[in-house]
Structure formats: C-alpha cells, structure tokens
Amino acid sequence: MDVNLARTFLEIVATGSFMRAAERLHVTQTTVSARVRTLEQLLARTLFVRNKAGASLSPAGELFMPHASALVQVWERARQQVAVPAGHRAVLAVGCEISLWEPLLLHWLLWMRSAAAHLALRTEVGLSQDLLDKVVAGALDMAIVYAPQQRPGLRIELLIEEKLVMVTTSKRRKLPRPADYVYVDWGPEFAAQHALAFPELSNAAVTAGLGPLGREYLLATGGAGYFRLDVVQRHLDTGQLYRVPEAPEFLYPAYAVYAVGADPKIVNPALAGLRQVAHPPHKIA
C-alpha cells in the first residue's frame, strides 16, 4: 500500500477536515478525496463520516488508526536508517518546542555525544503541534513539548516541573507598570492564568513570542517579565535580574512524547539523557 494513503488518512484525523489536510499536505482537496477512496476500496470499509463540520472517524477508521500510524512510522524509520552516517548504528531524531530548547537541547546533545556515541543525532526546533504531528508520522522519534495533546499511540513522560517567575532589572523588586513590562507568550495556559493575576498588564508595551528574545530585550532596556527560572538563574546570581517577591509563580513543565511502538534501542538512550540533563545531581541534592 502507498504510504501516502496512510499519511493522508492521519492528516485528516489530525485536522478533522479534508480541506485542511489538503492544505497541510500541499495537494488539492480532490487528491485527498481520491486517496481516501483508494484506501477505503483497499480495506473494503468506510473510514470517515463526512458532515458540515468536517470529517470524523467511522468505527472502521478507529480500528485502522493505530495501523496507519505504525505504517507511516515504519516507513520513516526505514528511510532514515538507510541513510545512517558512517560509524553510527542508527539515527535518532528529536524535536524540541521553541520555548524549551535552551539550555535543555544543548545539554542533551553534549550528553548523548559521550554516552550514546553510536547514535547519529538529528534535532529540530518547532511548534508543539507540528512536532507531535511528526512523531505520529514517524518523522521524529521524540518531541519535547510544554502541553502535549493526548493522542492515540503516543506515550507522554514528564521531564521537568519548571516554573515561570517574574524577574525585574530594578533593585526595588516591585510589580511593574505596563510601560515597563515585557509580556512573553508562553502559550494559552499561561495566558489565561496571567490574565487573571495581572489584568492591568494585558496590554504590555512589548510582547515577545520567544523567551530568549524577551530576556535579551529585558536585559538591554530594563523592565520586568516572566521567564523560566532555570534560564534566568545565572542572571539572578550575578545581580543582573531580581525576583519580584509579590508575583505568583506559574508551572511550566516539559514532557517527552514518543510513539508506543518506538524502538527501545533508539528511544531509551534519548530518555536517559533527557532525564540526566533535566535533573543533574546538583539539582537533586
């Protein structure tokens, strides 16, 4: 069976729509419909129930779902392993959400280089939804994300229970005015909690969609904002930044997500490295 049929099936499941699946696959909606018809003919079953809202899985589609995911994952794994660099046994592909890569991904790469040198490493940084789609499709072995969506065929493991804390460049350590505040977009859950705690800061003078960008701007111009504690700890230690004691903390956990049927020889070393760099001995003591 053409793997594109299974890939198209999974895109429709993920988007709930033939039209949106076509947009994400960069093909026409007619092509998507033709692929589904071919797949349904091969299986002799109707896979989707179409309605005005889009498309939902039929009972047969529910049964086919894990097999389609496994088929695409096996193909992607085979494609990657054929191109294994010389001197390595396999390729490990890991994606990390943009807001989480620093310093976790770098520390993990360094750990893997010494502890799992037999694995060639491929990393990328992206948005949570895109990374999870790639894990489902087999293009990534693992994704590190903040708020993973529960999906059939995926395992989710907590890595870090990190905190977002308000820091300021002012020695007064007071709650900031909107004009002095840098709002960092840490996702919808943070936005909802932040709006309840600080309605007056909802219209900040500067909004940053990337944590490192917001932090560097803050250090350069002064002001206050919420950042991951692990990342700003060195600035707190040197006196460049100060904690705002009146401000609440917000949880910002990181999770590892991988396929249920993932090869343990590939996934286990990656998980071991992530656990190690996420909880180094000096933090545990």
Mean pLDDT by 10 residues, the chain (285 residues): 87 91 92 93 93 88 88 76 78 89 88 93 89 85 89 88 94 91 91 93 87 93 94 94 95 92 91 88 45
Q: Please check whether residues 8 and 147 belong to one and the same domain.
A: no
Q: Where are the beta strands (DSSP E) in the chain?
A: 48-51, 54-57, 90-97, 119-126, 142-145, 154-168, 181-184, 206-208, 224-228, 242-243, 250-259
For residue 126, being part of any structural domain is answered with yes
Domain with 101, as residue range(s), is 81-159+253-284
265 lies in the same domain as 203: no
164 and 228 Cβ atoms separated by less than 8 Å: yes
DSSP H helical segments within 141-241, as ranges? 188-197, 211-221, 229-238
Q: Is residue 258 part of a domain?
A: yes
Q: Are residues 32 and 172 in the same domain?
A: no
Question: What was the pLDDT predicted at 41?
Answer: 93
Is the residue at 72 inside a domain?
Answer: no
* Predicted TM-score (pTM) above 0.75: no
The number of domains in the chain is 3
Same structural domain, 205 and 243: yes
Residue 134 lies in a domain: yes
Let me know how long the chain is.
285
